[in-house]
Structure 1
Amino acid sequence: MNMEVEEVVKCGALYVPSQGFLRQKKSWQKKYYVLYKSSRQGIQRLEVFDSEDQYVKQHNCLRIIPLSDCVKVAPMPQKQQPNVFE
């Protein structure tokens, strides 16, 4: 049995706005994201985890975002925010 490991393009923590219909105050949550290339094991996608520890222990991810309809991912030059992308 040939177990090919999927290639991680980029991974790390991002702060994202909390999701909720009745949020009155903007709060940001830290999540861990892993970007994968397409391979024999799966599609090109972005996986979301609660923490890096959850990813390392291979627990179920919170969300899988398929990138099949994604047109472009590129860094955005920002003076105050070095890790912004569009």
Structure 2
Amino acid sequence: MAWSSLKLQLSKFAKEVAGVGEPVLVSRERDRAALEHGIDGLTKSLAHLDAPELAAESLRLSSQALERLIGKIDAEHVLDRLFSSFCIGK
């Protein structure tokens, strides 16, 4: 699927789910970063259409970024953040 076709399908889906209206203002840095990571993942997946494993991984990362945007956080992510702040072995 070409980029323009994918973009058109995603736009159509978003309009069906969220409706149409005024553009949303992104007022928080973390929201902007999540959107950028989501777009980056989609772009990378398109670049890897010849390698399905890489495309799938890029889509997974994009999905995670968009989940952070809507506030969905999984237990694994919470534990990773928690334990990354500890200094283990000292």
Question: Which protein has the bigger helix share?
Answer: 2
Instruction: Give the number of the structure whose alpha-carbon radius of gyration is greater.
Output: 2
Instruction: Calculate the TM-score normalised by the size of structure 2.
Output: 0.20
Q: Which gives a bigger RCO, structure 1 or 2 (Cα 8 Å, sep 6+)? A: 2
